[in-house]
Amino acid sequence: MSPQAQLVMILWVPTIFWLFIRFSREKEKAVIIGFIVAWLFLPQKAGFSIPGLPDYDRISATCYGIFVATFIFDFQRFRSFKFSWLDVPILILCIVPFFSSMANDLGPYDGFSATLNQTVQYGFPYFLGRIYLTNFSSLKKLVIAIFLGGLVYVPLCLYEVKMSPQLHRMVYGYEGTRSFLQSIRLGGYRPTVFMRHGLSVAMWMMAATLIGIWLWQSGMLKKLWNIPMTWLIGGMMITFILLKSTGAYVYLLYGLVVLFTAKWFRNAIPLLFLIFSISFYLFLGATGNFAGQNADQVISFVSQIVPPERVESLAFRFDNEEALVQKAMKQPILGWGGWGRNRVFDYNYA
């Protein structure tokens, strides 16, 4: 971690306090801007270890800052939260690491640590969304902010498409990606900007493009910065195509099907099908039924549509998922706990 990355992380919490002061009458804006800016621009693999607490990184720093700022500037917001049965899944997600640690003889300290880390990473953002994004107006601000984040990323993505992923190194002094080789795609480069992987950038730009199309088609936003939405959507679409992510292309295409089916036919069947298909795939994968011959059939079908290298990538993913599921089924209820104990290692000493 470089000195400039350390400085940015140190100044981030005071910056969130400033956002709460700046948007004193619309504090949900401060929350939205805080999370989006952190996700898009804070350094990767940067932070500090805090004894007894999860590491201070881009997400935990944002959560800590917003929680403290809410306590200081908007304490009554906490009183607006009312627990609902809809909150049960996130509650289970946050507390189950403790029981996983205990079931694997890792001890109560490890269990409390894992639970606290899970709560900061997932429970805190969920809770902040529950108390700040509570009506149509706040959700509208959120989707517009996501669209703006996509627009801001357009020139950065175009730069890295041409010059290769360099912005994180140029700004923070070190590489932020896991593997530069994974940025090379189809004779060019797949941008990573300030995210960990090109897939993250592609999914963000997919969501921003889809939201932009929805804002444009619904008439909710006709101009931005005095520029017609058609021009902005066109620029985002071109940039999105240049990101070279087959999966994101499919998600955008299906998202458009859901959008226009709902608009023209007042029908939610494609959306319900998407929810069901994702849930069904997760069920098959978790139970080990999506493996072997079933996975081979999917790969055979996909090979008729996409290039061979994409088929190899999908087959590699299925093979690894199959190995992980086989190990997971040995501890099907509470899993293997932390420290990468759920992974499968093939040691070759030759």
With CA atoms as reference, report the closest residue to 12 among 73, 74, 58. Answer: 58
Nearest to 197 by CA among 125, 248, 146: 248
Q: What is the mean pLDDT of residues 288-296?
A: 72
Rounded distance between C-alpha atoms, residue 16 and residue 1, angstroms: 22
Q: Residue 75 in 3-state DSSP?
A: coil
Could you tell me whether strands 223-224 and 188-189 are parallel, antiparallel, or unpaired per DSSP bridges?
Answer: unpaired
What Å distances lie between residue 55 and 52, 69, 229, CA to CA? Answer: 9, 19, 41
CA distances from 94 to 56, 68, 151, 155 (A): 18, 21, 34, 38
User: What CA–CA distance (Å, rounded) separates 3 from 10?
Assistant: 10
| Of the listed ranges 281-285, 288-292, 297-301, the one predicted with least confidence | 288-292
Q: Give the helix/strand (H/E) hosting 274.
A: helix 269-287
Q: Tally the residues of the chain.
A: 350
CB atoms near residue 278 (< 10 Å): 10
Please report, for residues 258, 272, 278, the alpha-carbon distance to residue 261 in angstroms, rounded to integers and kept in the order given. 5, 12, 19
Q: Whose structure tokens read 């040995």?
A: 330
Residue pLDDT, tens place only, 9-23? 999 999 999 999 999
- Rounded to an integer, the average pLDDT of 62-83 is 92
- Indicate the DSSP class of residue 72: H
Query: Could you count the other beta carbons within 10 Å of the beta carbon of residue 274?
Result: 16
The H or E element that residue 227 is part of is strand 227-228
List Cβ neighbours of 54 (8 Å cut-off, separation of 6 or more).
Answer: 60, 116, 117, 120, 121
10 Å CB burial of residue 324 (0-12, 13-18, 19+) is middle
Segment 252-281, tens digit of pLDDT: 998 998 888 888 888 888 888 888 888 888
pLDDT of residue 126: 95
146-169 residue pLDDT tens? 999 999 999 999 999 988 888 999
pLDDT digits (tens, 9 = 90+) for 206-252: 999 999 999 998 888 888 888 899 999 999 999 999 998 888 898 99
8 Å CB contact between 208 and 229: no
| pLDDT confidence bin for 34, thresholds 50/70/90 | very high
Write out the H or E segment, with its range, that includes residue 176: none
Top pLDDT among 202 and 343 is at 202
175 DSSP 8-state letter: -
